[in-house]
Amino acid sequence: MHEVSIAESLIALIRRHLPAHQRLIRATVRIGPMHGVVPEAMEMAWNIASADSGWSGSRLRIVSPPWRLRCVACGRCWEPVTVDEPCVCGGTHVDILGGDEFQLDSIDVDSTAMHRRKKTAKSGDGRQRTFKTGVDHEHQSSHR
Amino acid sequence: MSTKVPIVENVLKLNDEMALQNREVFQRAGVFVVDLIGAPGAGKTALLELTLRQLKGVMNIGVIVGDPATCRDGDRLAKHSEHIVQVNTGSGCHLDANQVRHAMDKLKLADLDLLIIENVGNLICPVSFNLGQHCKIGMFSVSEGDDKAAKHPNLVVSADLLILNKIDLLPYIPFDLEHFRQDVAHLNRTAPLLEISVARNQATPWLHWLKTQTHLGSTKQMV
């Protein structure tokens, strides 16, 4: 369950980049299959960690790029279903060109959040978890 | 109004930054550090017991050993070395750079030639977390089955050395050794694969590798 640690690390990294007085709407991460991150587990981890950080309502968009291999023997590049798939030429060694991605691509922020936060603060409920939270998971097209 | 802020940084950048600091401490102390990753029951602690016994008087070895609970591994290793730190991670499935930082503060690093970090028994989670080590080692064992390298590509790809333990069990367990070797070579053609049996005291390639690496490490320090 390293998704919890990943979510916490992500929150700390985003906090470093979030402009002052702006609310996080969405974070986009690119995580290849190499890292064994389970989207459903990531969703639960993100919902808890983001709410605890006062970012209720923020969403996590997980972009999942496919494996991309290059055969050492013939140089062919392809996107296998699983990483142990051999090359059609019979080559047994590969270079991994894609699938090991593990990065925070961008954040979407609401620059009007300061105004909203003041209003919320007046109501005395600054950390309510009433926003819809969640994760958008999308597999990248394998046709490039 | 929504504004997109591009970032493009490693998700675990904060851990990586701390790992870099750990690495600098290791460099200054002149200690060679390996991160040993393997499943529960692969024989990691048994390998370290053997290592501490066999290399006593050859080099000073410290161990940071991670487990969710108990000090059992730490107690086993403490019979062979005074430089042992047990870390309990609770529900944590891996060690991170910060945990290692706290653990290494309890060791006299300058007295050590080699520090082995025995990670929490797990083939997935520890792989993504850099600890500041010089080498990452992936350890498998025959009793786990011959498909484990293929099923855990992240470990195989990122390892500098791979170990297959319990080869004494090959006659008794359906394990296709050639298939296992091919799976490893498919993803990582540079890391050596050492086939050993800790139970039979057959770990010479491993001991030789350690001696070579720590020698290289100390040579690097002097350059």
- Predicted ipTM of the assembly: 0.84
Where helices occur in chain B by DSSP H, the ranges are 13-29, 44-54, 72-78, 97-104, 148-151, 153-158, 177-187, 204-222
State whether B8 and A106 contact (CB < 8 Å). Answer: yes
User: Is A2 an 8 Å CB contact of chain B?
Assistant: yes
- A33-70 pLDDT, tens digit each: 999 899 889 989 999 999 998 898 899 999 999 999 99
Closest chain A C-alpha to B203 CA, distance in angstroms? 27
CB B37 within 8 A of CB B127: yes
Q: Which CATH fold topology does B13-208 show? A: Rossmann fold (3.40.50)
- Please tell me which residue, B154 or A129, carries the higher pLDDT value: B154
- What is the reported pLDDT for A114? 56
pLDDT at A129 over 80: no
From residue A82, alpha-carbon distances to A34, A79, B10 in Å are 10, 9, 24
- 């290289």: which residue's tokens? B216
| Residue with token string 């970090």 | B117
CA distance linking residue B135 with residue B133, whole number of Å:
6
Q: What is the pLDDT of residue B74?
A: 97
Contact A105 B8 (CB under 8 A): yes
Domain ranges of chain B: 13-208
Pinpoint the alpha helices (H) of B79-136: 97-104
Q: Domains of chain A, with CATH numbers? A: 3-65+101-124+131-139 (3.30.2320)
Show residues of chain B in contact with A10, CB under 8 Å.
11
Is residue B221's pLDDT more than 60? no
- The interface residues of chain A toward chain B in range 107-126, judged by CB-CB distance below 8 A, are 107-112
* Phi, psi of A135, deg, nearest 5: -130, 135
Tokens of A60: 């996590």
CA distance B132 to B46: 24
Residue A134 is predicted with a pLDDT of 72
- Taking the CA atoms of chain B, what radius of gyration do you get in angstroms? 18
Chain B touched by A25 (CB under 8 Å): yes
Higher pLDDT, A118 or B168: B168
Q: Please say whether the beta carbons of B113 and B97 come within 8 A.
A: no
Distance to chain B for A37, nearest Cα, Å: 9
Closest CB from B6, B15, B157 relative to A106: B6
Interface test with A, best of B5, B15, B122 (most A CBs within 10 A): B5
Q: How far is A111 from chain B (nearest CA, A)?
A: 6
Lowest mean pLDDT among A83-87, A101-105, A118-122, B6-10: A118-122
For residue B181, the model assigns a pLDDT of 98
| pLDDT tens readout for residues B92-104 | 999 999 999 999 9
pLDDT at B217 (0 to 100): 53
Place of tokens 């945990």: B99
Q: Is the pLDDT of residue A141 over 60?
A: no
Q: Tokens for B205?
A: 């390639």
